[in-house]
Amino acid sequence: MAATGKPPVILVLGDSLSAEYGLRRGDGWVPLLEKRLAEQKIPATVVNASISGDTTAGGRSRLPGLLSQHQPTHVVLELGANDALRGLSLTSTEDNLLQMAKSAQAAGAQVLIVGIQVPPNYGSDYTRRFEAIFPKVAGTAKTSVVPFLLKGVADGPDAAMLFQTDRIHPTAAAQPRMLDNVWPPLRKMLPK
């Protein structure tokens, strides 16, 4: 139970990686999270507010309404990939993530920042600085972090089989691995 005695409410604010893009409904890592919680008899509600194509700016603008509507005890922030794919300002991406974390904390929620890595379309310096944003924001906001959502998916020997034909979005077979990356730090945040 949450500190209030009510079951946890986990709000996932993400992009296509969390919104089941190209997948049959129920096959994404977020619905798999719901199943895992039920299997482990953890009474929690999961709200998936992920939108394909969303950026950190979009998430930041939507978050206040989502916090008010759902009153989450936990917020999982999985945003930033579209910022990088569009070559947006890293300073803005970092600030948006930090402000979302602070807003969620101010509303009483624990926060989990989910990191992502991107292809070096804008050069290795941009890529390196982008990847450093997630642990930096987590450290500043004193939150937990998943360094790389696609660990074991994008960097494994079977990576080619774990992506849809666009080579950007993971297949249904990749979703359990994605959940396995999110689960350990999220589980530590939930009541025993």
List the catalytic residues. 16, 166, 169
- 157's CB contacts (< 8 A; 6+ apart) are none
N- to C-terminal Cα distance for the chain? 8
Q: What proportions of the chain, in percent to the nearest 5, are helix, strand and coil? A: 45, 15, 40
